[in-house]
Structures are given as C-alpha cells and as structure tokens.
Structure 1
Amino acid sequence: MKRRDFFTKTAKSTLGLGLIPIIGSATNIEGSSSDFIYDDKIGGKRKRNTIHRHKDIKVDVAVIGGGIAGICAAVSAARNGVKVVLVQDRPVLGGNASSEIRVHLNGVTHLKDHMAERETGVVEELLLHNRFHNPQESYPVWDHILYDYVTSIPNLEVILNTSAIDVAMKKDKIKSVFCWQLTTETEITINAGIFIDCSGDGLVAASAGAKFRTGREASSEFNEKYAPKKADGWQMGATLLLSTKDMGKPMPFEAPNFTIPYDAERANKERKLKFFKDGFWWVEVGSEHDIIGEFEDNRKKLMGYAYGVWDYMKNSGKHPEVENYALDWVGSLPGKRESRRFIGDFILSEKDLTTYKHFDDAVAYGGWSLDEHNPGGIENIEERPSFFHERFKKVYEIPYRCLYSKNIPNLLFAGRNISQTHISLSSTRLMGTCSLMGQAVGTAAAMCINKGVEPRTIYKKYIHNLQEQLLRDDAYIPNRPAKDTNDLAPKANAIFASSTVSGNANLLVDGYSRDVKTDQGYDIHHWESDGQSAHVQLEWESLILLSKIEIKCDTNVHRNILMRKDSKNDTRFTNTVPVELLKSLDVEGRVNGKWVKLGGLDKNRKRLIKFNFDKIQTTAIRINVKETYGSKNVRLYEVRCYES
C-alpha cells in the first residue's frame, strides 16, 4: 500500500482509537476570503486542504512503546551498536510508572519470605539515576529523569506524542510502521530491520497479522489450577489512581456531576479504605469483550467510581480520619493491565511459574505473586478485588521463546503482551519484570542486526551468546552463571585481597554477580572488605593484552529502590541512594614492573562500573576501593577483564 493510500484508508477507522490522522482536511467556512493560502516554500499559492508534513526515518531497530519495557529495549539495542528509534504516544516516557498514571515500579518485591530479588541492568540504572537526581521523589520530575537518561544514549532517537497506527508488509515481514505525531500534524514512516512492540495493546503487532489471544484460557488447556473451567473473554481491567494531602484544617468536598456513588454496604471487606493517601488500586474496570475498544467508556466510569469512593469517605460520616484531607492529584489516564497477548514459539503458563521450570533459553525472571484481579473490577464489588492465588518462595524463569512472534519473523515483544496465558500474566505483568524482558529483546534485536539473522535464529543458534551478553550487561538469569570465554579474569592464576570479612576474592570470577537464594538460605558470591580502604588484585603468569575492566559492586538487591508515594524506608525499601553502593575507586595495571593508573571514579553512580583505556600489556591489575555511600565495608560481586 502506498503511504498516501494508507492515510486515506485509515483516516476514518482510526477515529475510533482516538487517533485523527486526517491530513490537511481543513473545513471551508462560509464567507472565507479564499480557498488558497500563500506558501513561501514554493513561492506561490496552494490549496488549503493540501497541508502535508511527512518524515521518513530509517533505523536498524524500531521500538514501539515508551514504557519501562520499551525504554529498556531501546537502550539495550542502542548500547549494543545499532541505530534505534523509540516511539511513544504520550508526551512523557514511563507508561504506567509515569506521572500520568503513577503505578509503583514493582517487580520481584513480593516473595514469600518478604525479601526482594531486585532487577539489575538498565532498570536499576534508571532507578539509581532517579535516587541521585530526584531525592524529593516528585513524579513529574521522574518523567524528566527518564527522558534525561534515554536521550543521553548514543544511537537512540526518541519520538514523543506519536502513535504507531499501521504497518506495511513485505511478504510476512514488517517493512515499515506508519505513525502520526499529533503535536506537529506529521506523518512519520519508520523503516527498520527489526521491530519490537512494547506498547502493551500491540496495535503494530496486530496490524502485521501477528497471532494473539485475549481472555482467560480453560484450566484444561495448560493444566492450570487457577484458570476457569471454561475459557472466556475476561481481561483484568485498568485502574485510575488518586492521591490526597493533609491540609491541616477541615476540607469540605462536593462531588462532581459524573460521580458514581460507592456502595460500601455491598463492598467486599478487602476493598480497604485505609490507604486513601495514595489511591485505591481496586478502582478498576475489566472487560469480557473488546477491552481496547471500550477503553474510553471505561475511563469515564473509572473517573466516576474514583470520585465516588472519595465522596463516600468525605461525606458518609464514617471516616473522620479524612476530615483535613483534600484531593491533591487525580489521574485522567487509567493504567492498563491486560489486552492482547501475542503468540511466540512457547506460551508461558501457570505451572511453568509455580514449579520453577528451568529453561535453557531463560533470559529474564519474575517473582510477583499470582495476582489475578477480579474480572469485573469494582463493578463486581461484592467479590475480592484480587485473588492472590499463590506467592513464590524464589524467582521463576522466563524463556526467550515467549518474546518473539510465531508468525512474523522480524517481530519481538516485551511487557504484558508476551506469549503467555492469562494466569501467567497475573504475575509477569509487573513493570520490573517487564523491564528484564525489554533488555532481553533489545539485546536480541541488536544481535539480529549484527549477525544478519531473525529473532528465531537467535534461539536456535545464538541463545548462549544472548545470555552471555545479558549477564555481561548486568542482567541476572536464574541458574545461569556467566561463561564468557573472552573474559580474562577467570584465567588469572591468583586472586587475592588486602582484607576480607565476608566471602572470598576468588568468588569474583565464579560467574555469579549476586548472592543466590537457595532452600537453605543464600549461596555467597561476593568479596567484602574490612573497612572502606582495600584492594583486590588479579595476577597472571604470562603477559596479557588488556583494554577493559568491568566491575559489579553492591547495591543490595534484597532491598528495593523504586520510588513509592509513601516514601517507605525500612528493611525492604529505601528512599535514598543505597548506602552499599561504591562511590570512589580506581584501577591500576602493572606495566614493566610498575603500577600504572588505568582509570578512576570519585562519584560512581552505577552497579556496573566500566573502565576503558588504551591497550596495555600487563601481568596484574589492582582494584582500589575507597569509599561507599554509607556502608562501612565495600562489597564486590564480579570482576571482568577484556583485551578489546
């Protein structure tokens, strides 16, 4: 289809989606002086209805959707050496975590023993960047923290306020994605080799003809304990959040006209009102039919229901604790949980999670409980708002085969739209978990471009390479230690430290970059110094060529650093920079018998620390750790050394 034909064809159909790509359709108002306007670009007149702006973009990888999964996908692809564009239909990045919706960026924060198993890699860099630059924990500032981080990445272009609305195909592959930028009235055509749909609803993937399913599977299809006996169309709904503020004096409240009264007498007791400061996650409306097509109707309902709950608290006389509170913020964009789930070469299901199934192609992990929300949401008010079917003792694995399309060869996806059942989605949909999928598919996409292959070929021939790159980039894959044959550190003949209070310096090259949970506790994979001034030394019997040293330090992955509206600071959460993070260090190499400084940092802000320098011949390196952000000792988890 030609581009002009495409926009003509879809002008009417996209109105139902809230997109209005009607190019140059100016209305002729009766009595207007002319149907022509002067155009200085052509030095003459042109008709009013021929206003036209178009842009063509050619990249290696196009990522559709700028939520947390999309950000991690785009950043990972760009860092691995390919040209990337990230397309987001909102004015801000972050998706459900943005200031427009304000959902906590949870992930593996809900294990049975109350310990976290926090995600590292790109998403941790985002959260650390926020801790350093947004100590006031402002959601609007968080939006710009994300923008600052993403726009600093070489090879990555970010396009906001732009909806991807259709595709052009070349045989069974996506050739181009057609976009409409609302703010500039511009058609944008994106040509790429690999496409990644991280948009949640997956309009691009669906337009390409990618196979998908919606609703709940029958329990018999995947032998799922918590699925219904008969398949149906129910999908978990969207939620509209609000927050309140103590004004220090009585604050009356008059409900707006669209308010829907809250029926507290019929409400299930688990619809708790005590967390009114941060909103009610259970003010939710699901759907048994077309949850995407019904979104605007449901949004209107959610506004009514949200104000109805607050009106009940303020004016029923049963909640004096809210007398001095007023609404401080109410969302206008509901946060979605479920719609399309695209089919890959493997469909992840309940038992894969609950039995902790091991996958040879694991590239991500999760651990949030099986948290299936009530099908009808608040419209099924007498029932529990969510069924926390089962909590996990440890993390489960997510295989790569869930992250690429079964029938569109150059399409990957990450987030809530991956290849999985409804019950599996009830856990994997958490944004921290989605971020790991994003990093995996971004890395895979770059590998596809660099090797000239399709996503399925990565599974068949290069899954080991993908896993190794993810581990090097500080992702964690359960039950999969690093085995990078290019890493010179494990080949050292001696590794020792100036002091040790926990672990052992030799553990820095054992392939694990965190302490690993077992049924008996944790297996140790770190070295910890006695005090903040210490060093680790690696020795080789023969000269090696060296130009890169990579170090993974401690950020306490068992304590969460996500931004919460309640600014929680306890054994599970911190509202500051992790005190364990290494702040100051330098590295040296022994050249011709003398120690030469190869690099140093005084204000390190990342867990993965990289030093690149001109290639040297050496028989030893020394890592001098000097200061943390508060811990009395320094803990390291991994050291890697590369020739190039």
Structure 2
Amino acid sequence: MISRFYLTCLIFLIFSCSFKDSEKVNPNTYTADVIIYGGTSAAIIAAVQVKKMGKSVFVVSPEKHLGGLSSGGLGYTDTGDKSVIGGLARDFYGRVYSHYQQDSAWKWQDREEYGNKGQGTPAIDGDARTMWIFEPHVAEQIFEDYVSEFKIEVFRDEWLDRDSGVSKENGEIVKIRTLSGKLFEGKVFIDATYEGDLMASSGVSYHIGRESNEVYGEKWNGVQVGVYQHRHYFKDSISAYNTPGDPSSGLVAEVSDAPPGNNGTGDTRLQAYNYRMCLSRHPENRMPFEKPPGYDPARYELLVRVYEAGWDETFDKFDPIPNLKTDTNNHGPFSTDYIGKNYTYPEASYEERKALLEEHTNYQKGLMYFLQNDQRVPTKVREKMAQWGLAKDEFTDNGNWPHQIYVREARRMIGDYVMTEHEVLGDREVPKPIGMGSYSLDSHNVQRFVTPGGYVQNEGDIGVHPKNPYSISYGTLIPKKSECKNLLVPVCVSSSHTAFGSIRMEPVFMILGQSAAAAAVLAINSASAVQDLDYTELKEVLSNEKQVLDLAGRLQ
C-alpha cells in the first residue's frame, strides 16, 4: 500500500514533470523585456541601449546582415551638422575612426592617398576621433561587434507574419509571430524597419506618399512640378517619344503617361529608390559589370539623349571611400534612381517586394553595363567606366551587390506628434526633444512625366536647408495611445513627407533608436504606457548618454 503522503508526493512530481515538459513543448517561444523588429542601424543601437540599462532584448531581423543602409553601401555619410550627433551614434563613428587608424585597414590604398573629403564635414575628424566615411564591411563588422560585446541575441532571416502575427491585448502588443513559427513575447516592442511592417500590423495609423500642403500648412510637400533645387532634372528640351516629336511613336522607355498632378496636392507616390553601389577602381579588386537578365539597351535611350544634349556629369556622385572605392549614388536627370517604380513597395507582400527589388537590381545593373559597353555612350565616359567595377571584397555572399536597397521612404506613422517642415526649418518650437537632425528637406524625384509640349521632365526633387539643426520630439516615436501603448517607432517616425526628407539620415536613425530604447526601458520600469512616460526622467537618461537634445548641447 502506498501511503497518502507518498501518493501526494508522486502526483506532485508527475505534475511538476508535466509542467516542465510543457515548457519544452513549445521551444519556439522567446520572451524578453524588449523585442526589436528589424536589423537596421537603429535596431542594433536600440538593442545596445536596452542592454546598457539592464534589460533583456531580442533583435528579430528579417535581414541576415545587420546595419541596413549603414552597412549596405551608404558609406559616404549624410552627416549634416556633426555637432548634433551624440550618444551611441557618435560611438559608432568613433569606432570607424579607430578601425582606420590601423595600418591593416588600408589594403588597396595608402592612407595618405585617400585624402579627407566628406559630406558636410571632413571624412576623418582627428580632433573628435570620428570618421564619417567608410567601407560597407567595416560598418557591418562594427554592428557585429556591438552584438558580441553586449551579448545581444539576434534572430536572423525572421519575417513578421504581417497578416496575423501580431497579438494585442488591452491596447498592447503581447507577442509577435514570424513566418517560421517563432513567437516573441515582450513588454515593449520597437519597430526599427525601413518599411514599418510591425507598426502597420499593429493597427497604428500611417501615411504613404506626399500629403497636400493643406494638411499641415506646408510649402514643400505635395507635387512640385517646375521646382528644381538640385541638378536632377532635364535642362534641355528632350522629346518624350520614341521618334522625337512624334506622339504616335509611343513614349520612350522609363517615362510615365500619367499626369503629374497639380502643385501642392497630395498623392501616394514615393521618392525613388536605388542601390548605393560600392565600386572599386583597383585592378585586383574590381568585378566587371555583367549583362543582367532581360537586358534591353532601349530602356536607357533617355540617357543617350541627355549625353547628346551635352550633359557631362556621369561621375559626380562616385563619392570616394577608403581603399579606392566609392559610395555611388544617383546623379542627373537619368541615373541609378529607378523613378516611379516603387509606389507599391510599402504595402506589397514579401514576394511582391522581392520582385520589385529584382526589377530595381536589373535596371541598375543594366545601366552600369550600358555605360561601360554601349557605343552610343561617349567614348570618354566608356573609357573611364572601364576603370570601375563592383568591389570584390564587399557583399561577397551577394555577388558583390548591396544587400539593402535604399528605402528612402515607405510608411510614416501618424503618431502622438507629427514633425513637419515648420519644426525642421525652425519656425516652431519642438516639445520633449529626444535627439536632433540637421539635414536639408531632401526628396529625390518622385515621377518622370510628359510636359504639355511633349518633352520629358522629372518631378519631386527638393532640397531646402534649415537655418540651424533642429530638435526631434519624443512624440514622433510613439503611436496614439488609443492605437497601441507599448510600441516605439524610431525609423518610420511620425512626420510629414517633407520633414521625413531631413530626418531619414542614418545617424539620425541611430540617435532615435537609442532614445526609443531608453524610453522602452523607462516605460517598463514605471509600468506605464510609452505615451505616459515621465519626460524629465527620459531627458536625464539621454543627457547622461551624451545624446544631443537641443542647440545648447551641441558637441565639438
């Protein structure tokens, strides 16, 4: 006979074992204080800040490579005013500096030969021990170093189930599910993607495209036909038709037949995307441009006509980075910007996005092959292009092609506070600052259309400089409380199209990622909604982290 005492013990042991087994039944559930979705620079910087404040964090990254555009080819940093770049963002650029102080970093070029050309600041700032220009693999290694040093667990190639993968209770996200079946439970969530997929799937309001100027009383939003603030437009009268002057011959390739719309009116069009290629002119480190699938030289007819009109700026944005490489950006009226072909990207399914990225890749690869090989390209251009190729030692698992397209704009949250051009241009005071920006209101071309006279023209490119660096409000990171109480969005921030054109710089995304993470931890500590956070406490934390919040706090 088993005594009642031993029977009770036996039952307890059985239930205990069953409970432990039940914990193991679903090994795909992961729980942390903060869940960060995205693998961008903002995501990794946010994770570092969470760790620094003593909380647990998981980074759930759709990408295999970390750092987004910062490691994806944009090495010629859009710094703006470097004096307002503080905190972990400045630490990142300090680590770049330390890397290039090593002789081993200069494999393909002597350090002295490189020079010191940067954008808005010298490339190498010895006094501040920062460097703003770098090779893609160097940036990626720094992000990997952060992950190792701070023991950050990253789940790579994990894609949010955008249809039903976000579970909410009482206005809060409790867990998210990825397509692989993994569940991530947390107290606060951060959407650090360029697309804003977690934000959108959480039922948070957002905008895609350009608002009309009437929405926020702006000047530079909406359609901007005839506004030419950079050099990315057709200065000469170039026919939009296959047979010049003959509408019956049809439109030349890469021109839309849709009317551009009235100036100042809103639309759902997006500024163009491209890949920031890393090119090399060292003979031992360059790969020739190959003919992409479906290559058709006819799609570059407009560029031939631009050359025939006397344009000669092909290499103006082959910006130098160390080791005889470039960060190559768009330039001119017809360039690597694939104008008008990204409008559906933000809301597209993963498969549809993949197809769009392939189209962008083939267009841009085809353009480079065309420049190097087509006899209609001026000889001096072809001869100089022959000196360039994709850098062999970059993006080595992707055919030396960048793993991240430049998503200049996708969704933008309509949150607790909306930044507009009024704040960026210094015409309105910013409440609860958590970081600063300084770049111009910058939008690339949005569309290429036919003028009433039958000529081709671009529209949407603007560049309006603020008088001073400006503060960014905490309210831009948080949704309306009625929509979600435990989500922060440091990339697809709450702003108008024009304001986002300035905010959307990689140093600023790092700044906002750090500030969002600090807010997440403080919200957990106080058991409050992110909208109810004590700003004075947040300000103190950010100040201690050397985040620059206003003009008075500028660094040297």
Please, what TM-score do these two structures have when normalized by structure 2? 0.69
Alignment of 1:130-141 (within 5 A): 130-133=96-99, 135=102, 136=105, 138-141=135-138
Task: Tell me what 1:280 maps to.
Answer: 329
The residue that corresponds to 1:264 in the other structure is: 303
Instruction: Answer yes or no: is 1:370 the counterpart of 2:446.
Output: no
Of the two, which has the highest radius of gyration? 1
- Residues 239 and 302 in structure 1, CA contact (< 8 A), matched pair in contact too: yes
Q: 1:225 aligns with which of 213, 219, 225?
A: 219
- Measured in 1, the distance between the counterparts of 2:367 and 2:459 equals 14
CA contact (8 A) 1:54 1:187 kept: no
Alpha-carbon deviations, 1:478-533, whole Å to 9, x = none?
146xxxxxxxxxxxxxxxxxxxxxxxxxxxxxxx4x45xxxxxxxxxxxxxxxxxx
Moved more, 125-134 or 232-241: 125-134
Change (3 A) 1:243 1:84: closer
CA drift at 1:299: 1.9
Structure 1 residues 377, 157: closer, same or farther in 2, change over 3 A?
farther
Q: Answer with 133-142 or 209-218: which moved more.
A: 133-142
Amino acid in structure 2 at the alignment position of 1:126? F
SS at match of 1:335: coil
Structure 2: distance between partners of 1:409 and 1:313: 52
- Check 1:252–1:177 CA distance in 2 against 1; reply closer, same or farther (3 A cut): closer
Paired residue for 1:418, among 460, 474, 493?
493
Aligned to 2:50: 77
Deviation at 1:139, TM superposition (A): 2.5
Using a 3 Å threshold, how does the CA distance of structure 1 residues 128 and 234 change in structure 2: closer, same or farther? same
Long gaps (5+) in structure 1: 1-51, 181-185, 481-511, 516-556, 558-644
Measure the CA separation in 1 of the matches of 2:221 and 2:41: 28
Alignment-derived partner of residue 235 in structure 1: 270
1:16 maps to what in 2?
A: none
Q: Work out the CA distance in 2 between the residues paired with 1:403 and 1:158.
A: 23
Q: 2 CA distance for matches of 1:404 and 1:431?
A: 19
CA–CA distance in 1 between the matches of 2:469 and 2:549?
10
Q: What is the deviation of 1:131?
A: 2.8
Instruction: Determine the C-alpha separation between the residues in 1 that align with 2:37 and 2:312.
Output: 37
Q: Does the CA contact (< 8 Å) of 2:55 and 2:521 recur in 1?
A: yes
Could you tell me how far apart the structure 2 residues matched to 1:427 and 1:92 are? 25
Following superposition, the deviation at residue 336 of structure 1 comes to 1.0
Mapping of 1:343-382 within 5 angstroms?
A: 343-376=414-447, 382=456
1:356/1:397 contact within 8 Å kept: no
1:310 to 365, 368, 385: 368
1:477 equivalent to 2:549? Answer: yes
Tell me the secondary structure at the aligned position of residue 213 of structure 1.
Answer: strand
Per-residue CA deviations over 1:438-472 (Å, capped at 9, x if unaligned) read 111100000001111111101xxx11111111011
Cα distance in 2, alignment partners of residues 195 and 234 from structure 1: 29
CA distance in structure 1 between the aligned counterparts of 2:266 and 2:188, rounded to whole angstroms: 34
Give 1:105 deviation, angstroms.
Answer: 6.7
The answer as to 2:74 corresponding to 1:103 is yes
Per-residue displacement from partner, 1:136-188 (whole Å, max 9, x unpaired)? 2543243222111133226x4322222222211113211101124xxxxx532
| Inter-partner Cα distance in structure 2 for 1:439 and 1:254 | 41
State the one-letter code of the partner of 2:337.
Answer: E
SS at 2:48 equivalent: helix
Alpha carbons of 1:377 and 1:270: their partners in 2 closer, same or farther (altered >3 Å)? farther
1:384, CA displacement in angstroms?
5.5
SS in 2 for 1:359: coil
State the Cα distance separating 1:364 from its structure 2 match. 1.1
Q: Distance in 2 between matches of 1:453 and 1:433?
A: 26
1:283-316 CA-to-partner distances (Å, cap 9, x unmatched) read 1234574223253343233223222332332223
Q: Is 2:75–2:327's contact at 8 Å kept on the other side of the alignment?
A: no
Change (3 A) 1:267 1:373: farther
Aligned position for 1:321: 384
Greater CA drift, 377-386 or 467-476: 377-386
- Matching residue of 2:166: 167
Hey, what's the Cα distance between the residues in 1 that align with 2:49 and 2:159?
Answer: 22
Contact 1:88 1:162 in 2 (8 A): yes
Query: 1:30 aligns to what?
Result: none
2:489 aligned partner, one-letter code: F
Q: CA deviation at 1:408?
A: 0.7
Distance 1:258 1:379 in 2: 26
Tell me the SS of whatever aligns to 1:164: coil
Q: Distance in 2 between matches of 1:298 and 1:456?
A: 36
More strand per residue:
1
Report what 1:192 is aligned to. 186
After TM superposition, the structure 1 = structure 2 runs for residues 146-545 of structure 1, keeping only pairs within 5 Å, are 146-153=143-150, 156-165=152-161, 166-180=165-179, 186-228=180-222, 229-246=264-281, 255-261=291-297, 262=300, 263-267=302-306, 272-276=314-318, 277-281=326-330, 282-285=335-338, 286-287=340-341, 289-292=343-346, 293=348, 295-315=353-373, 316=377, 317-319=379-381, 320-328=383-391, 329-331=400-402, 333-376=404-447, 382-383=456-457, 387-406=461-480, 407-415=483-491, 417-458=492-533, 462-479=534-551, 512=553, 514=554
TM-score (norm 1): 0.60
CA distance in 2 between counterparts of 1:253 and 1:478 reads 46
Q: Percent identity?
A: 23
**Equivalent position amino acid for 1:171 in 2:** N
Call closer, same or farther: CA 1:169–1:270 in 2, change over 3 Å.
Answer: farther
Q: Name the CA distance, whole Å, in 1 between partners of 2:436 and 2:292.
A: 44
CA RMSD of aligned residues (A): 3.0
Whether contact under 8 Å (2:420, 2:495) holds in the other structure is yes
CA offset digits 1:556-582 (Å, max 9, x no partner): x4xxxxxxxxxxxxxxxxxxxxxxxxx
State the alpha-carbon separation in 2 of the partners of residues 79 and 121 from structure 1: 12
Flag the 1:392–1:384 CA change in 2: closer, same or farther, 3 A.
Answer: farther
Alpha carbons of 1:330 and 1:267: their partners in 2 closer, same or farther (altered >3 Å)? farther
Q: Residue in 2 aligned with 1:571?
A: none
More helix by share: 2
> What secondary structure does 1:72 align onto?
helix
User: Counterpart of 1:238 in 2: which secondary structure?
Assistant: coil
Q: Offset at 1:397?
A: 1.1
Distance 1:129 1:252 in 2: 32
Asked whether the equivalents of residues 236 and 287 of structure 1 are also in contact (C-alpha less than 8 Å), the reply is no
Residue 248 to residue 171, structure 1, CA distance change in 2 (3 Å): closer
Aligned 8 A contact 1:241 1:330 in 2: no
Equivalent residue in structure 2 for 1:121, among 82, 87, 111:
87
Aligned counterparts of 2:155 and 2:358: Cα–Cα separation in 1 = 29
The offset of 1:80, in angstroms, is 1.5
Structure-2 residue corresponding to 1:20? none
Pair 157,296 (structure 1): closer, same or farther in 2 beyond 3 Å: closer
Instruction: State the 1:271 CA deviation.
Output: 6.7
Contact in 2 for aligned 1:270/1:384 (Cα 8 Å): no
Seen in structure 2, the aligned counterparts of structure 1 residues 332 and 204 have a Cα distance that, compared at 3 Å, is closer
The structure whose RCO (Cα within 8 Å, separation 6+) is larger is 2
- Structure 2: gaps (5+ residues): 1-24, 106-133, 223-263, 319-325, 392-399
